[in-house]
Amino acid sequence: MLWVAGQIMKHRQVEAFRFVMQTGTTAQAAKLMSVTQPAISRLIADLEIHLQFKLFERSKGRLHPTPEAIRFYSAVDRFFIGMDALEHSAQQLRDRSPTTLKVFATPALSTGILPRAIARFRELHANVAFQLETASYTQIALRLQTHQASLGITHAFPDLPGLTQEPFLTAAHVCAMHHTHPLASKAVITPQDLTGENMLRILPEGNVDWDATTAVLEQSGVRFRSDIATQSSHTGYALIARNLAIGLIEPFAADPWRRSGVVTRPFEPSLDFTYVVARPEAQPVSGMVDAFIEVLRQIHGPDDQP
C-alpha cells in the first residue's frame, strides 16, 4: 500500500488502473484481475478520490485517459517494472541462478564496445548472466538514479545526484562518407576539405551537445550545408550509406555500415569525447561489477581509439 495525500492508496486500485490503461476497457481489466466489471469501476473511483484528480473521461461508450492519468501511468508502470525485477531477483536466489549484470548503454556503444566486452568477460566468468538494454543518455541517468541498472555505459555526465562515474575511454569523432565520395581517397580529412558539403547534423540530447563538430568548421570559415539531422548514430550512418551527407560522428556504430559502402577517415583537428562507466551511488560493492569494468578498461583504455 502507498500513502497519498494522507490516505492509503491500495495496491489493488493501482493494479486496476494499470490494467484499464493497458487494455482500454474495464471489462478486459476485470478478466485479467478475475473480478467483476463494477468492481473495477469502484477501484478506479476510489483511486480518483485518493488522488484528487480524474483519471478517465467516458465518450461514446469508451474510456479516454486524462492527461493526468497518462503522466500518473508512467510512474505506475515504473513501479510495477521494479516489482517484477524484485520478483525476478528473488526467483534467482531461490533457484541459485547465475548473478545478472543489468547494463544500460547508448545504442552505438551497445552494438560496438559492449558485445566485445561481454564476450571477453564470459570467458572468465561463465556463471554471470547479462541483461544489456539500449537507452538514451537521459534514460540511462534515470535508470541509475532509481537503481534499475547495475551499470551505465555512455557519454560523460555532469555531476548528477545518485550516481558515480569514471572515464574508461576517450574517442575521437571520425569523418564518415560513402565510398564513392571523392573525399574517400584522402587519408585524413580537414575542415577545408568539407567546403560546400552537406554535413550531417547530430542533434543534442540532454547535456550531450555535439555542436563542437560543426563549430570547428564554422571557426575555420568553411561554408557548408547541413539540411539533414538526426539524434541516432546508427540512423546517421544509414543516411551516410545513402550518400545523403557526410558525418563528423562517433566511431562505434560504423562497423555494420561498412558493408553498405560507408568508409571512415580520421579528422583533424581531433574532436575528442569522453565515455564513462556509471553506477548507482549507493550500490553495494560488487566484485562482478568491478571485474566487468576492468575488462572494459583492458579492451579500451582511457586514451585508446576504437
pLDDT digits (tens, 9 = 90+) for 69-110: 888 888 887 777 666 655 655 655 554 444 678 899 998 899
Compute CA 296 distance to the chain's CA centroid, rounded to the nearest angstrom.
19
Q: Answer with the residue of higher pLDDT: 301 or 107.
A: 107
CATH superfamily, domain at 98-167+274-299: Periplasmic binding protein-like II (3.40.190.10)
Distance CA 46, CA 232 (A): 43
Q: Report the CATH architecture of 174-270.
A: 3-Layer(aba) Sandwich (3.40)
> Which residues, other chains included, contact 10 with Cβ-Cβ below 8 Å and sequence gap of 6+?
1, 46
Q: How large is the greatest C-alpha to C-alpha distance in the chain, in angstroms?
A: 72
Residue 175 in contact with residue 266, Cβ under 8 Å?
yes
Which pLDDT band holds residue 300 (cuts at 50, 70, 90)?
A: low
Amino acid at 246: I
Higher confidence at residue 36 or residue 99?
Answer: 36
- Tens-digit pLDDT profile for residues 207-223: 555 566 778 888 888 89
pLDDT digits (tens, 9 = 90+) for 148-162: 888 999 988 877 788
Backbone phi, psi, residue 41, to 5°: -60, -40
Q: Where exactly are the structural domains of the chain?
A: 2-80, 98-167+274-299, 174-270
The predicted pLDDT at position 209 comes to 57
Q: Please give the DSSP secondary-structure letter assigned to residue 61.
A: T
Q: Strands 174-178 and 229-230: what pairing?
A: unpaired
Share of the chain above pLDDT 70, in %: 85
% the chain with pLDDT above 90: 35
- Smallest CA-to-CA distance from 75 within 131, 135, 153, 9 is with 9
**Mean pLDDT throughout 252-277?**
93
pLDDT given for residue 181 in this prediction: 96
- Residue with the bigger pLDDT between 260 and 157: it is 260
Domains 98-167+274-299 and 174-270 share a fold: yes
- How confident is the prediction for the chain on average, in pLDDT? 84
Which pLDDT value is given to residue 130?
A: 87
CATH class of the region 2-80: mainly alpha
Nearest partner of 243 among 176, 175, 196, judged by Cα = 176
